[in-house]
Amino acid sequence: METNFTEKQLEDKDNKSSEKILRKCVHCGFCNATCPTYNLLGDELDGPRGRIYLIKDMLEKNKPANEKIVKHIDRCLSCYSCMTTCPSGVNYMHLIDHGRSHIEKTYKRPFGERIIRNFLAWSLSKGINFRIVSILTLIAKPFSFLFPKKIKKMISLMPTNFPKKTLSEMEVYSPENKKKVARVALLVGCVQKVISPQINESTIRLLNRHGIEVVVPKLIDCCGSLNHHLGKEKSSKETFKNNISVWYEEYLNNGLDAIISNTSGCGTTLKDYGFIFRNDKEFKKKAKKISELSKDITEYLDENVKLNFISMSKSEKKYKIAYHSACSMQHGQKVHNQPINLIKKTGNEVVEIPEGHICCGSAGTYNLLQSDIASELLKNKIKNIEKIKPEIISTGNIGCITQISTATNIPILHTIEIIDWYTGGPKPKVLMKI
Q: Using the predicted structure, report yes or no on whether residue 164 has a pLDDT greater than 90.
A: no
Which comes out higher in pLDDT, residue 322 or 233?
322
pLDDT at 310: 72
Q: Using the predicted structure, report yes or no on whether residue 313 has a pLDDT greater than 60.
A: no
With CA atoms as reference, report the closest residue to 323 among 379, 396, 273, 260. 396
Between helices 67-74 and 92-106, what is the axis angle to 10°? 140
Q: What is the mean pLDDT of residues 315-340?
A: 92
Q: Using the predicted structure, report yes or no on whether residue 58 has a pLDDT greater than 90.
A: yes
pLDDT at 312: 61
Given 304, 334, 349, the domain boundary residue is: 304
Would you say how long the chain is, in residues?
Answer: 434
Q: Using the predicted structure, report yes or no on whether residue 128 has a pLDDT greater than 90.
A: no
pLDDT, one tens digit per residue, over 248-293 is: 999 999 999 999 999 999 999 999 999 999 999 999 999 999 999 9
User: What is the pTM for the complete model shown?
Assistant: 0.92
CATH code, 73? 1.10.1060.10
Q: Using the predicted structure, report yes or no on whether residue 166 has a pLDDT greater than 90.
A: no
* Contact in structure between 74 and 31 (CB atoms under 8 Å): no
With CA atoms as reference, report the closest residue to 213 among 249, 257, 173, 246. 173
Asked whether residue 199 falls in the same domain as residue 293, the answer is: yes
Q: Using the predicted structure, report yes or no on whether residue 420 has a pLDDT greater than 70.
A: yes
SS (H, E, C) the chain: CCCCCCCCHHHCHHHHHHHHHHHHCCCCCHHHHCCHHHHHHCCHHHCHHHHHHHHHHHHHCCCCCCHHHHHHHHCCCCCCHHHHHCCCCCCHHHHHHHHHHHHHHHCCCCHHHHHHHHHHHHHHCCHHHHHHHHHHHHHHHHHHHHCCHHHHHHHHHCCCCCCCCCCCCCCEECCCCCCCCEEEEEECCCCHHHHCHHHHHHHHHHHHHCCEEEECCCCCCCCCHHHHHCCCHHHHHHHHHHHHHHHHHHHHHCCCCEEEECCHHHHHHHCCHHHHCCCCCCCHHHHHHHHHHEEEHHHHHHHHCCCCCCCCCCCCCCCEEEECCCHHHHHHCCCCHHHHHHHHCCCCEEEECCCCCCCCCCCCCHHHHCHHHHHHHHHHHHHHHHHCCCCEEEECCHHHHHHHHCCCCCCEEEHHHHHHHCCCCCCCHHHCCC
Which comes out higher in pLDDT, residue 131 or 379?
379
Domain limits for position 238: 172-304
Asked whether residue 102 falls in the same domain as residue 124, the answer is: no
Whether residue 137 lies inside any domain: the answer is yes
Whether residue 406 lies inside any domain: the answer is yes
pLDDT at 311: 62
Given 273, 304, 335, the domain boundary residue is: 304
Q: What is the mean pLDDT of residues 160-172?
A: 78
Q: Which of 112-116, 191-195, 382-386 has the largest mean confidence?
A: 382-386
CATH code, 265? 1.20.1050
* Contact in structure between 291 and 274 (CB atoms under 8 Å): yes
pLDDT at 316: 66
Residue 408: count of CB within 10 angstroms of its CB: 15
Q: Using the predicted structure, report yes or no on whether residue 372 has a pLDDT greater than 90.
A: yes
Given 270, 304, 338, the domain boundary residue is: 304
Asked whether residue 192 falls in the same domain as residue 142, the answer is: no
Q: Using the predicted structure, report yes or no on whether residue 136 has a pLDDT greater than 90.
A: no
Percentage of residues in the chain with pLDDT exceeding 70?
A: 99
Q: What is the mean pLDDT of residues 377-392?
A: 97
CATH code, 328? 3.40.50
Asked whether residue 187 falls in the same domain as residue 295, the answer is: yes
Whether residue 132 lies inside any domain: the answer is yes
Mean per-residue pLDDT over the chain, rounded: 92
Which range (20-24, 99-103, 305-309, 370-374) has the least confidence?
305-309
* Contact in structure between 325 and 365 (CB atoms under 8 Å): no
Q: Using the predicted structure, report yes or no on whether residue 19 has a pLDDT greater than 60.
A: yes
Whether residue 22 lies inside any domain: the answer is yes
Q: Using the predicted structure, report yes or no on whether residue 303 has a pLDDT greater than 80.
A: yes
pLDDT, one tens digit per residue, over 174-216 is: 998 778 999 999 999 888 888 899 999 999 999 999 999 999 9
Asked whether residue 127 falls in the same domain as residue 150, the answer is: yes
Total domains, the chain: 4
Q: Using the predicted structure, report yes or no on whether residue 315 has a pLDDT greater than 60.
A: no
Percentage of residues in the chain with pLDDT exceeding 90?
A: 78
pLDDT, one tens digit per residue, over 25-56 is: 999 999 999 999 999 999 999 999 999 999 99
- When pLDDT is cut at 50, 70 and 90, the band that residue 61 belongs to is very high
pLDDT, one tens digit per residue, over 63-76 is: 999 999 999 999 99
